[in-house]
Structure 1
Amino acid sequence: MKQSSSVEDTLKSATERLTVSGSESPSLDASVLLCHVLDKPRSFLLTWPDKLLSIDDTQAFEQVLQRRIKGEPVAYILGQREFWSLPLQVAPSTLIPRADTERLVEIALEKAPQLPGDILDLGTGTGAIALAIASELPKRQVWGIDVKEEARQLAESNALKLGIENANFLCGDWFTPLEAGTQFALIVSNPPYIEKNDPHLTQGDVRFEPLSALVAQDNGLADIKHIANQAMGFLLPGAWLMFEHGYDQGKSVRDILSALGYQSITTYKDYGENDRVTVGQFSLCQKEK
C-alpha cells in the first residue's frame, strides 16, 4: 500500500500536476482544494507541513484534484465563491461571481443615495450583486430577477444563509415578473454580453459556465439594448441604469443609452483598467418622447 504523503509533499505534487494541466493559479488551487478536503484554514497548511494525510483524505483530495485538472472551476468544486466579502453558494446553473463585478456594486453604492426607492438587479444569478448592495443598504429594498427558477432559489438561499432580509428574488424574463407601474431608483445588470463566436468561450472556467448567461446576439449587445429600452418604463425620473459589459463595448453601450435619451452617460474602468461599467440617468422627457 502506498505510504501516506505529508501536507507539503501533497501540495507540491498537486501543484506540479495542475501546472501541466494549464491552471493559471496551480499553487493556490492546490491549497484551496486541500483546505476544503481537510476542512482547515490555509494557516493549517503552513503550520503543519509534515502532517501525514489519512487514506480517506488522500482519496478525497485526489477526486477533487482530478476535477480541477479537467478544468472544472474551483468555485463549482467547492460549491462556494466569495463576493464582496460574502460567502455565496454557486452552482453550474449560474455564473461564478467575479472580482470585476464588484466595480458595478461600488458604482451602484455611489449612485444609490441620490434618489430614494427600491433597487433592481436583472439577471441576478447567485444574487451576488443584489446581496452585496442589500448588505450595504439595509434600509433599501433590493430586488433580483433571473430567468431560471433554480437561480432564483439559489439567490434566495444565499440571502437566507447570510441573514440579509431586504433582498427579494423573482423568476422571469427580465422585467416580465414586475407589475405595471413598478419603479426603481436604480437598475443594475450584468447581462449576457459575449459574442457567440468569441474564442474566450472555449477557454478556462468559462467552458463550464452556462452559455445562456454569457452569450448575446447582435455582437453581444442584444440584451443590453432590450434592457435599456424596457427600463424606461420602470425607472423613476432621475434614476440610474447601469451595465457591466465587455472590455471593448464601452462606446457601443454609451451609444445605445444616448440614442434612447439617457443623460450623464459615463463609462467606468475595472481593476485591470478596462472599460467595464457604463451608466446613464433616466429623465422624464425620455418617457414623453
Structure 2
Amino acid sequence: MSEQEADTRGRIYEPNAEHAFPDERVNDVLDALAADEEVQAYLEAQNVNPVKRKRYNDHGAKHISIVRHRAMCLYDLLKAGGVEFNGAGDQGLDEADEAVIVALASTLHDIGHVVHRDDHPYYSIPLAADLLDKILPEFYDVGDQVRVKGEVLHAILCHHTEEQPLTLEAGVVRVADALDMERGRSRIPYERGGRGINTVSSQAIETVTLSSGDDYPVLVEIEMNNAAGVYQVDNLLKAKLTDSGLESHVRIVALNTREDGNQIVERIEL
C-alpha cells in the first residue's frame, strides 16, 4: 500500500478501487449527483442557516462530502466483514442498490437546512423527494424508483432524529453523519467567536479514521488534543451508534494525544 493510499484508507471513497460490493451503479449515481446543478446549489445554500445565522458547525458541501466518503468507507468495511444489509433486499432490489441508497441519503440528508436548522430532517424529506424524482428515472424503472426513493428517505429521516433506523443502510448514514467531527468543521463558527459545546468539542478532534478491526468489522479511531473531545465521542457519535443496528459491528477507540501531562482523559473505548 502506498503512503497516499494509507492516508486515504477509511477516509476517502475511491470509485476506481476494489470494493467488497458491486460499485458500478453507485459510481454512475455519484457522477450524476456531481453533475446536477440543482443538487450542488442546495449543498451550498443549506449552510447559510446553520453557520451564518446560528453560528453552528458546517452543514454545507464540505460536510456532505466528508459524510458521503465516510458512509461509503463504512459500508465497504461492513461488507468486507460479512455484514448483511436489509434495506434494498427487503424491497426486492439488487445488492448494488445498497450502496446507491447510502450514497443518495448521505448526499441529501441535510438539505432541509435551507428551511431551518431546527427539525431539518423533516424539511429534507420533501426536498430530497423532488430531487430523487429527477435523478432516479435515469437508473430505474418506475417500480424500483419508488422502492429506492422510499429507502433513501427513510435513511434521511433517521439520520438525526428520534426515529430508529429500520435498515442497516440507514444506520450507516446515521453513524457517518457523526463521523464528521474533525476540528476543521468548526473553524468558521470558532473564528467568529462561537464557543458552544459543539464548536469547542469539535476543535479538540484531530483525526478520525476507519479500518477493519480484529474483533469487529469496523474500528473507528479518534485522536483528540483535549478532553472536550469526549463530548463529540460520547454525546454525538455514541448516541448515533446506539440503535443504529451497527452496535455489534463497530468499535470506537478515542485517544487523547495531548503531551503536556494534563490529560483528564487518555483513552475511551466504546
TM-score by length of 2: 0.37
Q: Which has the larger radius of gyration?
A: 1
| Structure of greater relative contact order (alpha carbons < 8 Å, 6+ residues apart) | 2
More strand per residue: 1
TM-score by length of 1: 0.35
